[in-house]
Amino acid sequence: MNLKTLAKLAIGIGLVVAIVQIVGIEKMVDALAQFDLAYFIPLILLFIASLVISALNLKLIADLFRVISFREALSIVVLSFAATLFSPGRIGQFSQVYLLKNKGLTIGQGTATVIADKVLTLVVLSFFASLSVIFFLPPDYGVTVLGGLVVGWIGLFFFLYSETGRNLIKKFILRKYRDIFTGFKKAIDEIVAQKQRVFWDLVLSAVRLLVTALTTQVAILGLGGNAFFPWIILISAATQILSFIPITPNGLGVKEGGFAVMATFIGIPLGVATIAIFIMTILNYAFAGIVSLLFLEGRIFDIEGKKPEKQVIQDRFP
């Protein structure tokens, strides 16, 4: 673990400690004591549902190059989820590329698949996050943040759909690894050409956001709180956007603080909001830890698997 990663981890832990001190341990303990365990099972089921939808997202795009089973897609998503939380830098986020390579995709195709999936997810999140900016922030701040999001949308579509943008990625970002990422540009072109697949990937990303928001709502209900569900959707989108800020590992501390503050805008007590988002964070790390242990012991997840026969990409969906 290098110095930069250690610094990010220290910042993340520092932010979490600061949040606890600001909210107050007593308030947090009181809120946690009110948690109704009857909500725990729905919480777990919704968490698993989110991973299942992520696997469908991945399979939808990866199948353009090699047909992978749903089970294989789910294994890749679960392992990369654990790797993202525990590994330094961007290794975890792009571990899917290595795992897809073991299923028969080239590194160029795997990279294109992962990047396209993340970009489409970001498009959905930024749309709903922009609505949270409109409804919750003062006009002066709202216009600034919304302007930044619009610039981000333009940039995303430029690099994804523009020939010039994709050439720039190849020239300046992938130039050191040109031999390794052979086929990246062609793979991106093939994904972009499959407009119906892109559309359904966006739909699945929106459904996943709804499931994530519902999971948060269940955690809040379990703590005796309540909120208008559409507001929870908007705050969940904004919180996930915050996790992309690269100052802490996976947005640790940033997303928790952001959610707690925004939740107070819709009438959720600060203690309840903080415990709710911490429950989500603990659930994430507990699940990732279990997955990591089982994987290291070789009990689950055969990442090698069988390489399926090459699929001829069809001109139209499916």
Which residue segment(s) compose the domain that 65 sits in? 24-296
Does the pTM of the predicted model rise above 0.85? no
Report residue 232's pLDDT band, with 50, 70 and 90 as the boundaries. Answer: very high
Over the stretch 21-65, which tens digit does the pLDDT of each residue have?
887 787 777 777 778 889 999 999 999 999 999 999 999 999 999
Query: What pLDDT does 174 receive?
Result: 59
Where is pLDDT greater, at 142 or 253? Answer: 253
Residue 63 lies in a domain: yes
Mean pLDDT of the chain: 79
Between 229 and 288, the higher pLDDT residue: 229
Residue 97 and residue 107: Cα distance in Å, rounded? Answer: 6
As a whole number, mean pLDDT of residues 136-141 equals 69
Quick: pLDDT tens for 74-101: 988 888 888 777 665 556 667 888 888 8
Whether residue 210 is predicted with pLDDT greater than 90 in this model: the reply is: yes
Percent of the chain with pLDDT over 90: 21
**Is 308 part of a structural domain of the chain?**
no
- Residue 311 placed within a domain: no
> Higher-confidence residue: 104 or 299?
104
151 lies in some domain: yes
Does residue 255 lie within any of the structural domains?
yes
pLDDT value at 204 more than 90: yes
Confidence at residue 269, expressed as pLDDT on a 0 to 100 scale:
86
Structure confidence by residue, pLDDT tens digits, 233-252: 999 998 888 877 767 666 67
Residue 9 counted as domain residue: no
Residue 113 lies in a domain: yes
Total domains in the chain come to 1
Question: Residue 306: what pLDDT?
Answer: 47
pLDDT band at 310 (very low <50, low <70, confident <90, very high): very low
Residue 1 pLDDT level (bands cut at 50, 70, 90): low
Asked whether residue 236 is assigned to any structural domain, the reply reads yes
Which pLDDT value is given to residue 250? 67
Q: Can you tell me the mean pLDDT for 204-214? A: 95
pLDDT on residue 183: 73
Residue 312 has pLDDT above 50, yes or no: no
